[in-house]
Amino acid sequence: MQDASRKAENVKDKFSKPWKLLPRPLRKTIVLIVGLTLIVTGILLIVLPGPFTIPLLILGLVVLAVEFAWAERLLIRVRHQGARINPKKLFRRQSGL
């Protein structure tokens, strides 16, 4: 178990160091473009036929939360609301229909 967490830390450090070398405005621009692209794609998939609507929205928030504090706060709220969902109530069959 600790070996897996150590590997995760190594991967995080491997990508974190070069990322932090980029100028802050460039990092924010990259994160904003990628994050908003994922969120807009997720919103479009609500209307258009396609899978992966909710995961794309959440992934967009995760990407935005890397550089933006407001996105991190929103992601925490989404996690909290997601933890409150009871799948048994969500997917139960309605009798009498």
Q: Dump pLDDT digits (tens) for 60-94.
A: 999 999 889 999 999 999 989 888 887 777 677 66
Q: What is the H or E stretch that residue 77 is in?
A: helix 69-84
pLDDT tier at 5, thresholds 50, 70, 90: low
The predicted pLDDT at position 63 comes to 92
| Confidence at residue 8, expressed as pLDDT on a 0 to 100 scale | 59
What's the pTM value of the predicted model, to 2 decimals? 0.72
Per-residue pLDDT at 45 exceeds 70? yes
Structure tokens at 24: 């802050």
What is the structure's pLDDT at 19? 83
Instruction: State the CB neighbour count (10 A cutoff) for residue 38.
Output: 20
